[in-house]
Amino acid sequence: MSAKVYRDKKALPLVERLKEVVKSLTIKCVQLAEQGKKLTAKVDKQQKQISRLTDKVMEQNNTIERLQEKASDFGRLERHLGRDQVQLIVERSKVLEQAEKANKRPKHAFEMSR
């Protein structure tokens, strides 16, 4: 087999196949790089969301701790004053708050004169 025949029948088809393989691998590499960028952005977004939710959970834990302390204080108050006395004070306070709300509401008079 001569060099020209070898080149035409073996070498050039091999080079063409190699070019196609390199071309397809390059395309795949670019696609994977884009996919990697998208996934990285998604991970960053989720990390921010996790951080925000973690902060919210911490705030709620603090609120729960404060409420538990207030419940303990309320229990102490009930033990000292008696349940009936505490209930009476709470009911009076509610009535006073409702009266204050009623006084603060603006009174609109919608009278139509002809």
Tell me what pLDDT residue 107 has.
62
- Give me the percent of the chain exceeding a pLDDT of 70: 92
pLDDT of 114 strictly over 60: no
Tell me what pLDDT residue 20 has.
97
Number of neighbours of residue 55 by Cβ within 10 angstroms:
10
Burial of 77 (0-12, 13-18, 19+ CB in 10 A): middle
Using pLDDT thresholds of 50, 70 and 90, give the confidence band for residue 110.
low
Q: In the structure encoding, which two tokens stand for residue 10, read together?
A: 């073996």
Distance CA 111, CA 15 (A): 95
106 three-class SS: coil
